[in-house]
Amino acid sequence: MENLIQESISLANQTSYKVGGDAQWYAAPRNWDELEASFEWYQHQDVPLTLLGAGSNLLISDRGISGLVLSTRYFRSYEFDPETGLLTADAGEAIAKLAWKAAKRGLKGLEWAVGIPGTVGGGVVMNAGAHTSCMADILVSATVLSPDGTIKEMKPEDLAYSYRNSNLQGGNNMVVKATMQLEPGYSKTEIMELSNQNWTQRKTSQPYHLPSCGSVFRNPQPHAAARLIEQLGLKGYKIGDAQIAHRHANFILNCGTATAKDIFELIRYAQEKVEYHCSISLEPEVKLIGEF
Mean pLDDT of the 146-160 span? 89
Per-chain mean pLDDT for the chain: 93
Q: Which amino acid is at 250?
A: N
Q: What is the pLDDT of residue 51?
A: 87
pLDDT tens-digit series, residues 174-191? 899 999 999 998 999 999
User: Residue 55: left if φ>0, alpha if ψ -120 to 50, beta else—which one?
Assistant: left
Q: What is the pLDDT of residue 147?
A: 76
Q: What is the pLDDT of residue 1?
A: 59
pLDDT tens-digit series, residues 224-245? 999 999 999 999 999 999 999 9
Mean pLDDT of the 116-136 span? 91
CA distance 128 to 49: 23
Alpha carbon distances (Å) from 228 to 223, 251, 271: 7, 13, 10
- DSSP, collapsed to helix, strand or coil, labels residue 61 as coil
pLDDT tens-digit series, residues 84-94? 999 999 999 99
CA distance 221 to 38: 41
Q: Is the pLDDT reported for residue 256 higher than 90?
A: yes
Q: Give residue 130's pLDDT band: very low, low, confident or very high (50, 70, 90).
A: confident
Q: Which amino acid is at 193?
A: E
CA distance 24 to 51: 13
The least confident of 23-27, 35-39, 176-180, 203-207 is 203-207
Domains defined for the chain, CATH in brackets: 6-71 (3.30.43.10), 78-205 (3.30.465.10), 225-289 (3.90.78.10)
Q: Give residue 196's pLDDT band: very low, low, confident or very high (50, 70, 90).
A: very high
Q: What is the pLDDT of residue 56?
A: 84
Other beta carbons within 10 angstroms of residue 238's beta carbon come to: 14
Which residues is 78 bridged to in the sheet? 89
Mean pLDDT of the 76-85 span? 95
| Nearest alpha-carbon partner for 270 in 242, 241, 232, 240 | 232
* Residues with catalytic function: 164, 215, 285
What share of the chain has pLDDT > 70, as a percent? 99
pLDDT tens-digit series, residues 14-28? 999 999 999 999 999
Counting other chains too, the contacts that 6-9 makes at CB distance below 8 Å and 24 or more residues apart are 9/69
CA distance 54 to 102: 20
Would you give the distance in Å from CA 185 to the centre of its chain? 30
Contact, 123 vs 159, CB < 8 A?
Answer: no
Q: What is the pLDDT of residue 10?
A: 96
Alpha carbon distances (Å) from 35 to 162, 174, 176: 29, 11, 10
In this prediction the pTM is 0.85
